[in-house]
């Protein structure tokens, strides 16, 4: 039987509504052979997912999703097969997450100045143990009826560059790549469409990304064609995943985008090369 992998899945350790255990149950239901636990700035979901999947024919790939914010674009970078127990890596992530807390305070303050009064405790409550982010804030805004839904929260206030948007900790794309490579992982550009500008890809290739996440729910067939071509022209691997956020997206997307397991093998080979350097 053909094997498939979903290489982009969140848990409640970032902005999904699902626990690692629920993620594993969903992946088994979808008959996936492998999933990558790719939380924003956190690796805390990996061990629990591995424990839940143990002996059940589902491979858990360690991963993380870092954000790079620049004047011209918001860039998400995935790291596959990272050594998530590496202390230096963990320390850096903790620093980045701590910055998210401060940033949330500032966003709440900006919203207050615009007449939207959100108790910050509620935002932290919604985030739970996860690294706190805009989807949690948007949830709190929707709860009190300040917006009709998450989408409106992003469109009117907290979307990238919006009036109440505050940046996360500054890291450059080169730093993101180095952070991943230093912990033995393979750096991959997540959903390139988000950047809104394909011209950015060239610089990221120079920084050392190994693949493009070509297959993603936000990519139309024409996008997929274009990114496949860019990957081919530049000797990059192609990856893909559902970017499943549980029920916050608003349905469980797991497995809706999946790739042949062969791609996992190719990523493993890349990881071996990176570790040998
Ligand atoms: P943060 O890491 O706090 O900046 O939040 C980024 C996350 O917010 C993304 O990973 C998505 O899950 C979500 N997000 C970003 N833009 C939008 C949008 N326009 N509508 C809904 N969710 C969004
Ligand atoms: Fe997210
Ligand atoms: Fe992302
Ligand atoms: Zn994601």
Token output for 267: 């990523």
pLDDT over 90 at 8, yes or no: yes
pLDDT over 80 at 29, yes or no: yes
Burial of 218 (0-12, 13-18, 19+ CB in 10 A): exposed
User: In the chain, what percentage of residues exceed pLDDT 90?
Assistant: 94
Atom of ligand 1 nearest to the CA of 41: 2
**Distance from Cα 1 to the centre of ligand 3, integer Å:** 30
Whether ligand 1 lies within 6 angstroms of the CB of 8 is answered as: no
Rounded average pLDDT over 204-209:
98
Q: Give the residue, by CA position, lying nearest to ligand 1 atom 11.
A: 135
**CB contact set of 199 (below 8 Å; sequence gap of 6+):** none
Whether ligand 1 lies within 6 angstroms of the CB of 136 is answered as: no
Structure confidence at residue 129 (pLDDT): 87
Categorize the per-residue pLDDT at 276 as very low, low, confident or very high, splitting at 50, 70 and 90: confident
pLDDT tens-digit map of 104-159? 999 999 999 999 999 999 999 999 988 999 999 999 999 999 999 999 999 999 99
Q: Give the residue, by CA position, lying nearest to ligand 1 atom 17.
A: 154
Structure confidence at residue 272 (pLDDT): 97
**Distance from Cα 277 to the centre of ligand 2, integer Å:** 32
Q: What is the DSSP string of 226-259?
A: HHHHHHHHTT-EEEE---B-GGGSSS--TTSS-E
């Amino acid at each position: 039987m053909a094997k498939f992998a979903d290489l982009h899945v969140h848990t409640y350790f970032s902005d999904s509504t699902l626990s690692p255990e629920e993620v594993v149950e969903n992946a088994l239901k979808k008959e996936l052979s492998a999933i990558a636990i790719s939380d924003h700035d956190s690796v805390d979901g990996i061990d629990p997912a591995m424990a839940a999947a143990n002996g059940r024919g589902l491979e858990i790939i360690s991963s993380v999703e870092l954000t790079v914010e620049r004047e011209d674009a918001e860039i998400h970078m995935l790291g596959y097969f990272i050594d998530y127990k590496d202390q230096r890596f963990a320390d850096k992530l903790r620093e980045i997450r701590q910055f998210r807390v401060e940033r949330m305070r500032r966003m709440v303050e900006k919203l207050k100045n615009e007449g939207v009064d959100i108790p910050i405790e509620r935002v932290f409550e919604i985030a739970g143990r996860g690294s706190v982010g805009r989807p949690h804030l948007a949830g709190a805004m929707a709860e009190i009826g300040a917006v009709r839904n998450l989408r409106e929260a992003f469109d009117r206030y907290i979307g990238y560059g919006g009036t109440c948007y505050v940046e996360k900790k500054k890291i450059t794309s080169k730093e993101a790549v180095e952070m991943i490579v230093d912990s033995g992982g393979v750096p991959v550009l997540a959903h390139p469409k988000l950047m809104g500008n394909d011209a950015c890809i060239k610089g990221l290739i120079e920084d050392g990304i190994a693949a493009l996440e070509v297959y993603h729910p936000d990519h139309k067939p024409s996008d997929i064609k274009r990114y496949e071509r860019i990957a081919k022209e530049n000797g990059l691997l192609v990856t893909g995943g559902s970017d499943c956020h549980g029920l916050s997206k608003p349905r469980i997307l797991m497995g809706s985008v999946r790739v042949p397991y062969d791609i996992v093998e190719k990523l493993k080979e890349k990881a071996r090369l990176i570790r040998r350097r």
